[in-house]
Amino acid sequence: MTKGYLHLNTGHVFEGDMIGADCGQTGEVVFTTSMTGYQETLTDPSYAGQVLTFCYPMIGNYGLHDTASESVKPFVKGVVTGELWDEDDKLKSFLSSWGIPGLSGIDTRALVKTIRQYDTVIGVISAEANVSNTWETEGSLTLMQRTTVTHPKTYGNGTTHIVMVDFGYKKSILEALVKRGCFVTVVPFSYSFKQVERLKPDGIVLSNGPGDPKALAPYFTQLKKITEKWPTLGICLGNQLIALAFGGETKKQLNGHRGSNHPVKDLQSGKVMITSQNHGYVIADEGLPLGFNVTYVNVNDKTIEGIKHKSLPIESVQFHPEAHPGPSDTDYVFDQFIAQVATGGNVYA
């Protein structure tokens, strides 16, 4: 294999074997602790613009599957792994076909320990031992524009009409709604209140997506009007956007939550659930918007994992209820949302 290098803006360099495309791409270097689901992770639009490091050493050992991808294409800037098990070269070909460079044979433990020392680490994968890089990365709004749909798309044939505002949605969210008898219209995040209103939805879902939610500040007014009009569920980025639209605050985490083993406590029931997460921003503790209560907290670092409006049918979660990281603990979030839609939000009264 050709030798390759991961150059960090911290001055650190990690050497490995090149896989995938032979090109250099710059992005924020992040890591996921998931032990399975590498295909789903690679195709999650929330990783757009990032160089993704897999903490679990054995990647590629069970191949790729036609139905496992979360989007039509991967949006990552690069892939780093300790061991690559890819006997039929499917994963290498997959990365190459999308122009994504990667490195295997990296000491990922040392890399993650390095990343954890810094707020934001930018890196580039290159076949060159020395690079001259300005460390420029794509802006958050640009990433969202690349991952959103360009025009409305419809799915399912149910009687409950859900409009999903798309910032870079995962296919599993769509499938969870269709499975529950919903007719789903996926629209670009730039859709106005009037455009959404013409679609006559019964409920709204604000999807996950990449980047800093504050980059969408020009859309906060429209999002607030939309969520005030119809029962709304926000997921991941959608959770942060609801907080911001109602005057709250968000903040960037040191390393983010990326993996499938994050414990979250439901403050109403007291139960702790294992969740799948992928985000670098959270609602600030001191920035909870007026009119909302906290519904879930992260057991590890006590960050806010969900909020609910006191009088309007608006609820959101930071974790991914559609993901099944072993258990299906949080699948009920969709059932509750559909029940709220069916009653026009009267369950909040």
Q: Say how far apart CA 338 and CA 332 lie, in whole Å.
A: 10
**From 236, 279, 305, 309, the catalytic residue:** 236
**Which residue type occupies 85?**
W
The SS3 of residue 3 is strand
The SS3 of residue 84 is strand
Is 322 assigned a catalytic role? Answer: yes
Is 249 assigned a catalytic role? Answer: no
Q: Say how far apart CA 176 and CA 29 lie, in whole Å.
A: 30
Q: Are 217 and 179 in contact (CB under 8 A)?
A: no
**From 28, 40, 70, 322, the catalytic residue:** 322
Q: Are 50 and 28 in contact (CB under 8 A)?
A: yes
Residues near 115 by Cβ (< 8 Å), separated by ≥ 6? Answer: 29, 30, 31, 53, 121, 255
Is 236 assigned a catalytic role? Answer: yes
Sheet of 314-317, strands arranged across: 153-155, 182-188, 160-166, 203-206, 232-235, 314-317, 304-309, 292-298, 250-266, 272-283
CB atoms inside a 10 Å sphere around CB 124: 24
Q: Which residues are catalytic?
A: 236, 320, 322
